Chains A and B, each alone.
Chain A
């Protein structure tokens, strides 16, 4: 649910990075944080365990520029990927305007990808959303790893709806901004379509 402030002339939107444990959601946000001008970003918050696994969420506020005199601000969130944090994941989806599903390209993680995608659908449905109607993109991450599935295979398995998808290596940043731009654009287009 975006927030339009006529007084400060701001449009605020919420984007959630979803995906299985260790697929690189936090790494996406860290790369964006490191490569963004200080004036365009706020502090990045990570609520993580002592072993740096996301416990509740990561949060990064980002300003992307102005449209017709309105500043566009995006709040990026990640969810904890580990299966047993499902209650927390549901909470973070509340009020979401757009979803990035980060898939782990490694063959060994195919089942985890499918399980997480199914979990995303279920949790969105519980909040009254449908993944088919939300602005939604997919990122095939970890393309630099040795035992990875071909993109066509990942696409057939995870992207039957043919939404925009991107290959990425989030640790070095490849594909990270392409993914972000695509989802931001879809969110703004949806706001325009639905009349805000």
Chain B
């Protein structure tokens, strides 16, 4: 496989969650979330109940993939930042370490400048955490839930 497995543990999750919680406050944003490049939601903070985060995660990943495709055609490695401006809401999308995507949704209570500033700082911190997480995941001695799973367990999932 070209990409290593994405795994999330409690320790790293708590660190990541602390960063997104803080980013919501410091950037005065409505919602902040982090997704992987395949569209899986990793963490979210803010007013998430009003938003279909699963759908948004998949579409954002599609968007990043499409933008990455355009970059490749222009011989750029990536376009790391995207900004979409609406009447009520704006979305700031930042690729972090070419691995995960940091999404900030905000309204007119804040400014693009502030969001960019806070995102920059958060990105650096997130990058370090995901680097460390990747090291941990690649450790051949790590435990996985799959060792215990039997073929019967898989069959049982489909007996309905």
Contacts and interface: CB of A to CB of B under 8 A. Distances in A.
Interface of A: 1-7, 11-12, 14, 42-43, 45, 47, 56-57, 59, 61, 64-70, 72, 75, 87-88, 90-92, 94-95, 127-129, 181, 184-185, 188-189, 191-192, 194-196
B37 A95 contact: yes
Contacts of A43: 52, 54-55
Contact of B158 (A3, A4, A181, A192): A181
Interface in B137-159: 144-149, 151, 153-155, 157-158
Interface stretch (B1-9, B25-33, B76-84, B111-119): B1-9
A1 B5 contact: yes
Contacts, number: 126
Interface residues of B, number: 39
Contacts of B149: 67-68, 188, 192
Interface in B1-41: 1-10, 13, 36-40
Contacts of A72: 157
20 contacts: A1-B38, A2-B6, A3-B5, A3-B38, A4-B5, A12-B40, A42-B52, A43-B52, A45-B55, A61-B54, A61-B58, A64-B158, A92-B65, A94-B37, A94-B38, A188-B154, A188-B157, A192-B146, A196-B144, A196-B145
